[in-house]
Every structure is written in C-alpha cells, then in structure tokens.
Amino acid sequence: MAVRPVSISRAVRSEDLEQYIMLTTVEKALAWAQSNSIWPAGFGLACCAIEMMALPSPRYDIARFGAEVFRSSPRQSDLLIVSGRVSHKMAPPLRQVYDQMLVPKWVMAMGACSSSGGMFANYAILQGVDKIVPVDVHVPGCPPRPEAVLDGFRLIQKKIRAGIPPAYELEKSKA
Amino acid sequence: MTSAQLAAAVKKAVPGSVTAHEQGLDMPTLTVKPEKLVEVATHLRDAMGKNFLSAVSAVDHLGYGEDVAGYFGTERGRDMNATGSWGTPLTVAQPPKRFAVRYHLAHVGDGPTERVRIQVWLDDGQEVPSVVGVWPTADWHEREQYDLMGIHFAGHPNLRRLIMPTDWAGHPLRKDYPIGGEPVQFTDAV
Amino acid sequence: MSTIDERPPAPVLPLYEPAKIPPGAPSKVDPPAGADLITVNFGPNHPSTHGVLRLIVTLDGEVVVGLDADIGYVHTGFEKNFEQKTYWKGIPYSPRMDYVAFFANELAYVGAVERLIDIEVPPRAQWIRMLFAELTRIHSHLIYLCTSAVEMGALSVFFYCLRERDSVLDLFEMATGVRMHDRYPQFGGVAEDLPKGFYAECRRFLADMPKRIDEYLDLLAGNPVWKSRYQGIGTITGETAIAMGLSGPNLRASGVPYDIRRLEPYLAYDQVEFDVITRPGGDAYDRFMCRTLEMYESVKIVEQCLDSMPSGPVMANDRKYVLPPRHELHTSMESLIHHFKLVTEGFRVAPGQVYHTVESPRGEFGCYLVSDGGAKPWRAHFRAPSFVSLQSTAMMSVNRYVGDMIVVVGSLDGVMGEADR
C-alpha cells in the first residue's frame, strides 16, 4: 500500500482511493492497536521469571513487539505472564492479581510448572494454573527460552488480530 | 579433633550428656540427650568455638531400612548388584527412636572450620529444647522443622508455621504423609 | 487542630549504626504500641521483593517500626520429591531451588552423593565443574546487580547486566545444551566434554568481562545517588552476622574472611589463585562492592581453568554408578544391562549421612543427605543461604525508612526459590 501526497483539487477515481486511504473495520483497527501494545504484568515466581527478565534485555527485546514496559500494577497491564511454579499458598494472591486486571486481559502460562505443575507432582504445587485463571497460551519449556516466550507472545497477538476473544470470555460462554 | 576426643571434652564439661559418638564420613557426630542440649550447645559455642550453626535437620525414620537394598519389582527388594550376595537383603541398623534432629555446627573466624554434628533422638510428640538462645539463627530453622516435620522446640519464641499456609493440616515431610499431587490420566490408559 | 505536629517524630537510626538482634524472636520485630501506626503488606507479588517474599511492615509515617517476613509462597516440596526419585533422577530437581545460581545447587547435591558412594571424579571433570561454578557466580552476581539497580531506578545497569548474562548463558548452552538448569554435573564427572570452539568463545568473553565490570563500577560505585542510598544502610557487625548465620558475601562484607573455597577446598580450588574479597564496613554498599569485585576474581579463576585444564576423561570409569557411553550399548551386553539397571532401579548407596557444603554465590549452600541403603535418598535437606539471610531483614530494616528496607532486602541477595524449597 503506497501512500503518496496528492493535492486535494485533483479528482481521484474510486479505484485509486485505496492507494491513499487505509480502509478497515473498527474491530480490525482495535485489534491492531491492542495486539501491538500489550503490556505484560510480570508475575515472576521462580526460574521462569529469570528467563522472563531476559525478555526486555537487548538481545530478545520484547519491546519491539509492543510490550514496552512490564507494569508492576495489574491495573495497568493487559497480559499476565505466570512465570514459575504456583504453590497452594500463592494461588489466592495470583487470583487476586488476575481479578484486579481490567478487561480485556490475557494470561500466558509460561513454562511447564504453570501449565501443568511441571516436574512437581506433589502436595505443594498447583497442578496447572488454568485451574484458577483462564489461560490463553501455554508456553512449554523448563524454563522456555526467551524465543519460545516471544513465540507465545506472537500467538497471543495473532489471536487478538484473528478476532478470537480472550480466554475468560470463552469460559463464560462455555459455562 | 576425633569424635572420641570431642565426646570426652563435652562429657567433662556437661556430665551425663553424651550417649554416643561416631566419626562419620564427613564430621564427628555426637549423640546428646535432649534435656542437656542447651548446655552442650553453650559449651560448644563458648569453649570450643562452634559459633556458626549451619543447619538444623530433622529426619523421620519411620520405615528406615525395612527390607532395604534395591528393588526387584517392588519398592524395596533384593540387592542384585552386590557380588556374592545372590540377592540376599542387606540389613541396616535400626534407629533407636523415630525422629532425629541434627545440628550442623562450624567454627567461623580464625582457623579451620572443624565441622561437628550433634544429634538428638526423639519420639513422636517428644519436645526438644530450642537453641535460639545459643545461636539466634536457629529461629527459622526450627520453625521450618516444626512446620514440615512436627517437632516441637520448647522455649522457641515464635513457633508457628513458616512455609506451609497457616491453616495447613499435617506435617508434609513425615514419612506417613503422602506425596500428594493428582492422578494424571493418560490418553492411552485403559 | 491536628495532633500530627504534637507527636514526636518517629525514631530513625543514624547511618552506620550496626543492627542489633531483637529480643524475643530474632527474625521479627514487634511494633511498639501506639496510635497512628499503619500496617502495610509488601505482598508476595511486588516488583521489589526478589521473588515472592511477603513482608508485613508496620510504619510510623515513613519509618519502619515493626517487620515480620512471611515466606513459603513458592514452596515446592523439593525435599519430599527427592525422596521419591532415585539419586540420578534427583539431579534435574537440584538446580531449580536456587534458580539464579543453579550450578551451585547441582554441585552440592552431586558432591554429597559422590561422598556417600565414595567415587573418584577425574581431574578434568573437577576443573570443568569449577569453570562453570565460577561462570555461575558471575551470572548470579549479574542478576543481583541488575535487580538491585532496577529497584533504585538505575535502569541502564539492568540492561547492561542482562547483556552480559546472555553471554554467560551462551557459554552454558554451548557446553550443556540449555541456558539454565543444565543437568551437567553427573555422579562421577560431567555429562559431556567441552565442545570445540568453547575455549575461543570463553576467552572472548573473559577478555570483555573485566571491562564491563569496570563499566558497572563506573556507573555505580562512585555515583553520589547510589552511595547515599547504599552507604550506612543495613550495617551488621561480623559477630552478629555469624550469630545470625550469614555467610558468603553478606559475611565477607562485615570483615569475616569465610570462604569455603579457601577453607574447605572442593573441586580444584586449592590449585588456583584468587583473592577472598573482604570489606570492613558491613553495610549494603560493602556487600555490593564485595559481589562486584568477586566477579573479577571469578574471571581470574575461569582464565586459570582454561590455561591449566588437564586432559583426560570427564567421567569416572566406575560402571556400577556411571552410565556407560552410548556407543557401547550397541555392542556390549554388560553395558546394556548396567544401563538398564542404573536408569530403572538406580544404584544403591550404603547407609550413612553426609553434609556437603559449597560456596554458592549467596553463601554456604549445604546438602544433607541420609541414605538407608536403598536406591532413593531417605532424607535430602538443603541448607539455603537465602533462607538464613532473610531472617536478618527485620533487624536491619527496623527504625529506618521504607526505601532503606528495599535496599536491605536487595543487598542480602535472597532468592525465594531456595528460601522456600
């Protein structure tokens, strides 16, 4: 799509109009804006948090995908990256943080422990964070490489642009 | 210092405290009566320079050494690898009581570390005096062993759960506490 | 009208005042009775607590007058998991405790089992392990620097340290295949030999690293903002530190030269030259300097490792404990049987107990193993230095401002994964 400046007095044929104006639907425009400005709330719990810290680093640079800052407050963030093993003691604070996020919100279960309990099938660890929060994307790995997390991030972006509602809406419609 | 010399020195200072001693793989180990623990600890810290309490570990010996040695289709079976044994089970010395609380001490300062271990044997429900007055670092160590093993430390200023949620029932590291988790159904399981 | 002006100002300790062990429980300070005290929850999810630490803080204005630490939010039940798995299958569990200095945990566990089974590790494996142990020390101190700096608002240091951290993890990936949580130390040696090209890559890293550490010191050590935030805060004397169980850089910054690498040498530390960095002050600034200067020493040790690396096997030849090389599985029946037995059943360890300590970047990391003669550990207890150092948070933060409490927690360099296990 090439945009060239054109003087307003020249008549423009309707076939050429698309060269000068971008036409889209409101949903697509919103989705484009949302997907390119997802601000994660880092919920760094354990080893995956260290690999999540590598995301804003110069080499992997999640900021080029729009995640400019990792907000500390859940009220200001869109994506909750649950990075690490969630113990039963930590489950209520996790749910509280998730509830404080404003819609629309997405959840990425980063790593094996948050997706399914990982290698810790025992009394202490919640066997999968999707028992308490609806999860959009599971990123496997122990810990997943930063590139894998970026792949998961891109999946969420694709999901948003495809018009798929976030996971909590799907759960509501299921129930 | 060998364990015999150590035991003799401690017995001289606190009579009737040491019931056994062992040289051990890594450091001399003294077995001490629970009621004399604080006196022995104070003597070790002041007169023998063990000013650093490295760790307090409680061990639950329920089922220790039962039919030990490898498996052979079961949890504990026969030792197929021991030459000449033809699979006969290895016998292991039974511990005197169910719980052992072991204190790992060291000397930090001038000179070598000279690590020492003292151990106390306890029954289920028996109390052991707290050594927080001797080494303040024992505070959280003892709370953690209380939380996970259920050992009561008499005289501890703040004995409550540290690691598990406050309303948790049971002591997870005990041998009669199950590992937990949930059964995973595999798609090809019948 | 308001009583705020009539109330006496909250007590603030002068700088450099050493912390005193509080009466009662040494690890918490009860707030004094009084009106207008606020209890704030520095909850488990907080940008400045290293991991999931919960501090229940009572404030008189901006001054901390009571503090209680609540841990256990990432309790994973490691010790119970070790009892369920054979010794070999426990190796992947060990690095996940202190996930920042992961190699040190593995060394402690593998070293403890090796003492129990009395297996001799070939010298090349010892030197390779030492090399990675020092790279882990650099990695851990870089993470410490970047998180402490980001809490103070020095965001550039965060990015510089992460850049170096990626170089360190590149070296790990080259030799072991993964960035973090390699299961590289195995009983009897290391899993694989160093690959071709590792020496060149490592030397390139070592040539660069001292200049980068100079950069960090340039940015922070003389920086008046950094000094005013860090100097005089969280001072602790050597005696109090020993009584509270501190070790590693926390203790060496208070003037006590306690370094397990020097006093109880393991691996090949008695054959390399390095200084034990000790600082006299005992405040947060000295702890920061101790860790940053230790990175230079680690670079020195890695250089000596590359220069004097002995040749030879990287695994002991004891087939009762060590897996046979894979190519033998195609030709030798005994190797196949041994492989099968070692993987499914595991080797048995004679009854006994051992307490093996290593100098983790955080302090003295100890692994206490009790064996009952079976193929699985009877008890695996880990002495985590962060667990012990977090006890001192209350006594160092009380009667100081809230911002200083953040400095204290950061300067103790605690990692909640190992504190909670």
Q: How far apart are CA C126 and CA C190, in angstroms?
A: 8
Q: How far apart are CA C394 and CA C391, in angstroms?
A: 7
Low-confidence winner among B35-49, B82-96, C201-215 (lowest mean pLDDT): B82-96
Where along chain C do its domains lie? 86-316+347-397
- pTM value? 0.90
Q: Given this model, what pLDDT does residue A174 score? A: 61
Which residues from B are below 8 Å from C80, CB to CB?
A: 172-173, 179
Q: Given this model, what pLDDT does residue C250 score? A: 92
**Among the listed residues B173, A51, B85, the one whose alpha carbon sits nearest the alpha carbon of residue C76:** B173
Tokens 């019931």 belong to: B19
Which residues from B are below 8 Å from C77, CB to CB?
A: 172, 180
Enumerate long-range contacts of C208-211, CB under 8 Å, 24 or more apart.
C208/C167, C209/C138, C209/C164, C209/C167, C209/C295, C209/C299, C210/C296, C210/C299
pLDDT confidence tier of residue C3, bands split at 50, 70 and 90: low
pLDDT confidence tier of residue C9, bands split at 50, 70 and 90: confident
Identify the structural domains of chain B with CATH numbers, from first to last: 3-61+97-154 (3.30.460.80)
pLDDT over 70 (residue B94): yes
Task: Give backbone dihedrals phi and psi of C23, rounded to 5 degrees, phi first.
Answer: -70, 160
Tokens for C72?
A: 């256990």
Q: Given this model, what pLDDT does residue B69 score? A: 44
Enumerate long-range contacts of C12-17, CB under 8 Å, 24 or more apart.
C12/C63, C12/C399, C12/C400, C12/C401, C13/C399, C13/C400, C14/C232, C15/C231, C15/C232, C15/C233, C15/C235, C16/C231, C16/C232, C16/C235, C16/C281, C16/C283, C17/C235
DSSP C11-28: P-PPTTPPP-PPSSSTT-
Q: How far apart are CA C284 and CA C269, in angstroms?
A: 28
Residue of B nearest to A117 (CA): B181
Query: Computed over its alpha carbons, how large is the radius of gyration of chain A?
Result: 20
46-105 of A, contacting C, C-beta below 8 A: 46-47, 49-51, 53-54, 56-59, 72, 84-85, 87, 89-90, 93-94, 97
Q: How far apart are CA A42 and CA A46, in angstroms?
A: 12
Whether chain A has a CB inside 8 Å of the CB on C139: the answer is: no
Identify the structural domains of chain A with CATH numbers, from first to last: 39-174 (3.40.50.12280)
The percentage of chain C sitting over the pLDDT mark of 90, rounded to a whole number, equals 56
Q: State the DSSP code for C161.
A: H
Instruction: Tell me which of C216 and B66 has the higher pLDDT.
Output: C216
- Inspect the interface and report whether the beta carbons of B93 and C351 lie closer than 8 Å: yes
Q: Given this model, what pLDDT does residue C4 score? A: 58
pLDDT tens for B14-56 read: 888 888 888 888 889 999 999 999 999 999 999 888 899 999 9
Q: How far is A108 from chain C (nearest CA, A)?
A: 17
pLDDT over 50 (residue B75): no
Q: Which of C80, C96, C147, C158 to probe by mutation at the A interface, max A CB count within 10 Å?
A: C96
As a whole number, the mean pLDDT across chain B is 82
CATH class of C86-316+347-397: mainly alpha
- Inspect the interface and report whether the beta carbons of A57 and C81 lie closer than 8 Å: no
pLDDT over 90 (residue C91): yes
- Inspect the interface and report whether the beta carbons of A121 and B182 lie closer than 8 Å: yes
pLDDT confidence tier of residue A1, bands split at 50, 70 and 90: low
Q: Given this model, what pLDDT does residue B70 score? A: 44
The percentage of chain A sitting over the pLDDT mark of 70, rounded to a whole number, equals 87
What single letter denotes the amino acid at residue C112? A
Q: How far apart are CA C50 and CA B101, in angstroms?
A: 31
Q: How far apart are CA B90 and CA B96, in angstroms?
A: 19
- Inspect the interface and report whether the beta carbons of A127 and B181 lie closer than 8 Å: yes
Whether chain A has a CB inside 8 Å of the CB on B164: the answer is: yes
CB distance B126 to B49 below 8 Å = no
Half-sphere exposure of B43 (CA within 13 A, CB side): 19
Using DSSP, state whether B51 is helix, strand or coil: coil
Q: Given this model, what pLDDT does residue C138 score? A: 95
**Among the listed residues A165, B107, B68, A18, the one whose alpha carbon sits nearest the alpha carbon of residue C375:** B68
- Inspect the interface and report whether the beta carbons of A117 and B181 lie closer than 8 Å: yes
Helix (H) or strand (E) holding C294: helix C284-308
Q: Is the dihedral of CA C280, C282, C284, C289 positive or negative?
A: positive
- Cβ burial, residue C159 (10 Å; 0-12/13-18/19+): middle
- Inspect the interface and report whether the beta carbons of A143 and C180 lie closer than 8 Å: yes
Q: Given this model, what pLDDT does residue B71 score? A: 40
